[in-house]
Amino acid sequence: MPRSLLPRSPARAALFAVAAMIGAAFILTDPIFQGLAISLLFGLFSSTLLMVLAIPAICIVLRGNAADHRDRSNIQG
């Protein structure tokens, strides 16, 4: 994938996901593809939440623990 198509910020990625959800919302009225549209909408929603909220929070926690460990070893050493 070309680098220019990758999202550079969580806000941009969220906008891409919202646009895809709006597009998938039109499929909800079709009785044949309604199940596909529901799974697509919830998949986009949950993956966007993970990418925007959970993954950065996990990185902050892990980096914070590593920084605390380095600080403690510098004080003791």
Q: Evaluate whether residue 9 is within a structural domain.
A: no
- Which DSSP symbol is given to 8? S
Q: Evaluate whether residue 50 is within a structural domain.
A: yes
3-class DSSP assignment, residue 23: helix
Domain count, the chain: 1
pLDDT in tens, 23-77: 888 888 889 999 999 999 999 889 888 888 887 788 888 887 666 666 566 666 5
Contacts of 13 (CB under 8 A, 6+ apart): 7, 48, 51, 52
In this structure, which long-range contacts are made by residues 54-59, counting pairs with CB atoms below 8 Å and at least 24 apart in sequence? Answer: 56/10
Per-residue confidence (pLDDT) for residue 6, from 0 to 100 = 44
Per-residue confidence (pLDDT) for residue 1, from 0 to 100 = 44
Domain range for residue 63?
A: 35-77
Q: Evaluate whether residue 21 is within a structural domain.
A: no
Contacts of 51 (CB under 8 A, 6+ apart): 10, 13
The rounded distance, in Å, linking the Cα atoms of 74 and 43 is 45
